[in-house]
Amino acid sequence: MRITGSKARGVILRIVVCIKQVPATSKVQIDEVTGVLRREGIESKLNPYDLYALETAVWIKDKVGGAVTTLTMGPLQAEEAIKESFILGADQGYLVSDRKLAGSDVLATAYTLSQAIRLLDGYDLIICGKQTTDGDTAQVGPEVAEFLEIPHVTWVKKVNEVTEDSIVVEQDLGTSSAILELPYPALITVEKDIFQPRLPSYRRKKLTAAQQVNVLTFSDFLDSDEQKYGLNGSPTQVERVFPPDANEDKVLWEDEPSLLGEKIYMLIKDRNFI
């Protein structure tokens, strides 16, 4: 890892981290009559993948100097996510919350976030989590980058270099890996395990308890074309949700272990698996 530009030389990177509050449980049920999701309770937590994004930002800030701003779009309760980010090292945070944003799909969410980012006092690096555990699309990051007309790299598993004007990262492409250099401003989405997220410290919790979350609403945005936000700005529509298929033609074997072994053997032999 090569770091150029130390705090002493005054490299101040402006880092934005996009975070989202997600349901704390993955146990969702479908209302058979209405086809609408029922969530048990409304317990929320920070999207676990975003912890890695935040940690990456704080790590870079500690190395080269900088300021970390967190950003989320959601209901007013999502303020909690920003407060949690203060404890984990963010310097300031913004919540975008407005009823006009209700029903946003990936495109509308990404556009809204890009509009919010344009309101910030400049940015060099934007970091997103790999994906969320509820939306689960991994698309918001790249779409934000497109709307801001900046380059992006997904699936970053390692930060190789951070300099005053660019960052070098290693991207995991499954069968291959690419080492890529990108100049600021740029956006990356990071893999789980890029850095081990720190645990919230009691000291920082006390220290940041009174820190305010900035709230942005629709009226703050430069682009006030309502067709680009919320339900109307969302080209995709969820028509219905339904439980995964049940298996109809199944066979159940209960027997002595040795007979079970025999049965499986006959099955795989009959069907030419050996």
Q: How far is CA 71 from CA 2, 28, 85, 107, 229, in A?
A: 28, 26, 10, 17, 17
d(C-alpha 170, C-alpha 174), whole Å? 12
What would the 3-class secondary structure string for 195-236 be? Answer: CCCCCCCHHHHHHHCCCCCEEECHHHCCCCCHHHCCCCCCCC
- For residue 133, state whether it binds ligand FAD (rule: CB under 6 A): yes
CB atoms within 10 A of CB 101: 20
Tell me the per-residue interface mask from 177 to 206 with other proteins, x by CB under 8 A, - otherwise.
xxxxxxx--x--------------------
Q: Number of residues in contact with ligand AMP, rule: CB under 6 A? A: 25
* Residue of the chain from 12, 168, 204, 211 that contacts other proteins (CB under 8 A): 168
Alpha-carbon 200 to chain mean position? 19
- For residue 74, state whether it binds ligand AMP (rule: CB under 6 A): yes
* Residue of the chain from 7, 9, 38, 118 that contacts other proteins (CB under 8 A): 38
- For residue 176, state whether it binds ligand FAD (rule: CB under 6 A): no
The nearest distance, CB 136 to ligand FAD, in angstroms, is 8
* Residue of the chain from 13, 64, 68, 73 that contacts ligand AMP (CB under 6 A): 73
Residues 7-36 that bind ligand FAD (CB under 6 A): 26
* Residue of the chain from 23, 59, 100, 137 that contacts ligand AMP (CB under 6 A): 137
Kindly give the pairing relationship between strand 186-190 and strand 152-162.
parallel
Handedness of CA 210, 98, 23, 60 (dihedral sign): negative
- For residue 98, state whether it binds other proteins (rule: CB under 8 A): yes
Tokens found for residue 99? 């009823």
- For residue 85, state whether it binds ligand AMP (rule: CB under 6 A): no
Return the closest-CA partner of residue 96 out of 70, 116, 69, 80: 116
Radius of gyration from C-alpha coordinates of the chain: 23
- Angle, vertex CA 143, rays to CA 16 and CA 107, nearest 5: 115
d(C-alpha 199, C-alpha 182), whole Å? 30
Q: Which stretch binds other proteins (CB under 8 A): 12-20, 86-94, 200-208, 245-253?
A: 245-253
Tell me the per-residue interface mask from 5 to 44 with ligand AMP, x by CB under 6 A, - otherwise.
-------------xxx------------------------
- For residue 207, state whether it binds other proteins (rule: CB under 8 A): no
Nearer to ligand AMP among residue 11 and residue 153 (C-beta):
153
Binding residues for ligand AMP, rule: CB under 6 A, are: 18-20, 47, 49-50, 53, 71-74, 106, 109, 113, 128-129, 131-132, 135-141
